[in-house]
Amino acid sequence: MTNAAGYSYIEVDGGVAGKQWLAARVTPLKSGDVITWGGGATMRNFSSKALNRTFEQIVFVGSVRVVN
């Protein structure tokens, strides 16, 4: 997870679906946290100037909640 420009960029393991990236308002998380998220809009080839990288696919979600 990385925080930049008011967002948390979170790589999650979706099991069978594989790994994916989420972006949400800055959220305090630590490695290994189990999370849920609500809603979202998928963006392809999203370029983050703050992180100086392009995400092949990222989901911008309304909220992230720790459940562990």
**Mean pLDDT of the 1-20 span:** 90
* Domain containing residue 27: 2-66
Question: What is the pTM assigned to this prediction?
Answer: 0.88
Q: pLDDT by residue (tens digit) across 12-46?
A: 987 887 899 999 999 999 999 999 998 899 999 99
pLDDT recorded at residue 1: 85
Q: Per the structure block, which two tokens stand in for 51?
A: 């992180």
pLDDT > 90? residue 64: yes
55: nearest Cα among 5, 6, 7, 21:
21
User: Who contacts 62 (Cβ-Cβ below 8 Å, separation ≥6)?
Assistant: 24, 37, 38, 39, 40
The count of structural domains within the chain is 1
